[in-house]
Amino acid sequence: MKRLIIGLILVMWLAVSISCAQPGPPGAAADDLVTPPGGFTYRANVHQQGQRDWPPIQETEVTLKSLSGTIGIKYRDYIETKAGETRNNIIYLDGQNSPELLYPLQVNYRAVGLPDGIIVGRDRQMYGGIGGQDKKSSKVVLQMHVASHVKPGEYPFAIRLEYEGKDFGSLPCTIKVIE
């Protein structure tokens, strides 16, 4: 009887330990990129059998005016990270209502107002839709690297969108560096 009680206690402790563990493999982050059917997305947006689900990535939807219509955009406007880490920001751009936006993969994304020690660069891109069928929309990944010397705090900046010399506006963004 004593062994049965000890065995039950060990099983319960193991179950509690597993349920409190971080989802995903060791060293993984919710905004790591994975490639399910339909193209890359955040790890947190994909359910993996046998793994606990991540809390969802919070995204913001905005509409920017173009010369002859509108451009719908979904992206992360607030990102928390530690110094020394790199985070991903997928920018979903929908140019269906903007006739002059013929090649959305040629949109230039330029970070302005970045503090020293934070670098934003374009990593990868693809046309939107399953299998890249939708040529009027795109997904672009901006990688945001925070140097190890950056002090904790909030750092606002903007991501400017330009296409064929035309400025479509900017997306406000904040990186919060945590301890």
Q: What gap in Å lies between CA 7 and CA 13, rounded to an integer?
A: 10
Domain boundaries, the chain: 54-178
CA 84 to chain centre: 17
Single-letter amino acid, residue 92: Y
Q: Torsions phi, psi of 14, nearest 5?
A: -65, -40
Tell me if 109 sits within 8 A of 159, measured CB to CB. yes
User: Mean pLDDT, the chain, as a whole number?
Assistant: 83
Evaluate whether the domain defined by 54-178 bears CATH number 3.90.1640.20: no
Output the six-digit token pair for 3. Answer: 């062994």
Q: What is the pLDDT of residues 27-39, one digit of tens each?
A: 789 899 888 877 7
How do the pLDDT tens digits run along the chain, 179 residues long? 555 444 444 444 333 333 344 566 667 898 998 888 777 889 888 887 787 888 889 999 999 988 788 999 999 999 999 999 999 999 999 988 888 888 888 899 999 999 999 999 998 888 776 556 677 889 999 999 999 999 999 999 999 999 888 888 999 999 999 98
* β-sheet bridge partners, residue 22: none
Q: What is the 3-state secondary structure (H, E, C) of the chain?
A: CHHHHHHHHHHHHHHHHHHHCCCCCCCCCCCCEECCCCCCEEHHHCCCCCCCCCCCCCCEEEEEECCCCEEEEEECCEEEEECCCEEEEEEEEECCCCCCCCCHHHCEEEEECCCCCEEEEEEEEEEECHHHCEEEEEEEEEEEEECCCCCCEEEEEEEEEEECCEEEEEEEEEEEEEC
Q: Torsions phi, psi of 141, nearest 5?
A: -100, 125
pLDDT at 164: 87
Q: What is the pLDDT of residues 47-76, one digit of tens each?
A: 877 878 888 899 999 999 887 889 999 999
pLDDT at 120: 96
